[in-house]
Amino acid sequence: MKLLSEKGVTTFMGKPSVKGNAGATGMVGIVDVPPETIEITDEMFDELAKEKGIQNPERDPGKYPYANEVAKKYDLKVDDSGSTGFSLRDKATNYTLVDLTMHENNRSFTVNVYDYDNNKQLAFDIIESTGKVDINEVKEAIEKQLNSNGEPQYWEITGGLVEFEGPTGDVPAVIRIYLFEDGDNQ
C-alpha cells in the first residue's frame, strides 16, 4: 500500500485515497472514502491527457455542428438522434426548448419554439447559426405577423419566405423558413 501511495496510484485529483478498513486483500480507496463533490468534465480529462502526453481523438460534432455552439452558450444539450433535425433540451429535465427540422431540399426548415416568450432568443440564435438567413429579416417578418390579423401569412425575406404561427396554449410557436434556389418558383 505504501509503495502504491508513493507512486501516486492511490490518489485522485491530487488527493490521497484513504485505505479505510480494507484488509490486505481489500479494495483500497473504496471503503470509508467520502463522496467527491467535484464534477469531472471532459475539459478536465482533456487537460489530464495533455499533461500525460496523450492525444485524444477529435469529438464527433454531430450532424448539425452549428447547434453545438448555441447549446453551449445556453448550457443545453443537443439531441440529433432523429433523421431530419435536432432538439435543444434542458440538461436537468430533458425538456425540449427548440426543435429544428430540415425540409427535403436541405435549405428550408421549421423551428418549433416551446414557451416562446422565454425561448425566442434561443430560437433566433439557432436560426442565425444555420447561416442561411439574415436573422433581422426573420425577426421583422415575425413582428409583422404578430401585428397582423393573426392568420398565418408568408413574409418575404432575401431568397425566400418566412411563416410564423404564434403559440396557443400548449402548442409551440412555429417558424417556417422556405429558401429558394435561383430559378425556383416563388
Q: Are 84 and 102 in contact, with CB atoms under 8 Å apart?
A: yes
**pLDDT tens-place values along the chain, 186 residues long:** 455 555 545 555 666 655 555 555 555 555 556 667 777 777 788 888 888 888 877 766 678 889 999 999 999 999 988 889 999 999 999 999 999 999 988 889 999 999 999 999 999 999 999 999 999 999 999 998 888 877 778 999 999 999 998 887 788 999 999 998 754 444
Q: Tell me whether residue 173 is in a domain.
A: yes
Residue 185: predicted pLDDT: 43
77 and 41 in a common domain = no
Q: Which pairing describes strands 154-157 and 160-165: parallel, antiparallel, or unpaired?
A: antiparallel
140 and 164 in a common domain = yes
159 and 86 in a common domain = yes
Residue 42: predicted pLDDT: 75
H-helix or E-strand spanning residue 144:
helix 135-146
Q: Tell me whether residue 56 is in a domain.
A: no
35 and 72 in a common domain = no
Could you tell me the residue range of the domain that residue 161 belongs to? Answer: 65-179
Residue 38: predicted pLDDT: 77
Q: Tell me whether residue 184 is in a domain.
A: no
Residue 114: predicted pLDDT: 95
Residue 48: predicted pLDDT: 86
C-alpha cell at 115: 414557451
97 and 143 in a common domain = yes
Number of C-beta neighbours around residue 78 at 10 A: 19
Helices (H), 19-134: 42-51, 65-74, 116-129
93 and 18 in a common domain = no
158 and 89 in a common domain = yes
31 and 83 in a common domain = no
CA distance 178 to 156: 10
Q: Tell me whether residue 84 is in a domain.
A: yes
Residue 183: predicted pLDDT: 44
Burial 32-41 (b: 16+ CB within 10 A, else e): eeeeeeeeee
69 and 30 in a common domain = no
Number of C-beta neighbours around residue 178 at 10 A: 19
Q: How many domains does the chain have?
A: 2
| pTM exceeds 0.85 | no
CA distance 66 to 46: 22
CA distance 157 to 35: 56
71 and 136 in a common domain = yes
CA distance 165 to 146: 9
131 and 107 in a common domain = yes
C-alpha cell at 76: 443545453
Q: Tell me whether residue 13 is in a domain.
A: yes
169 and 103 in a common domain = yes
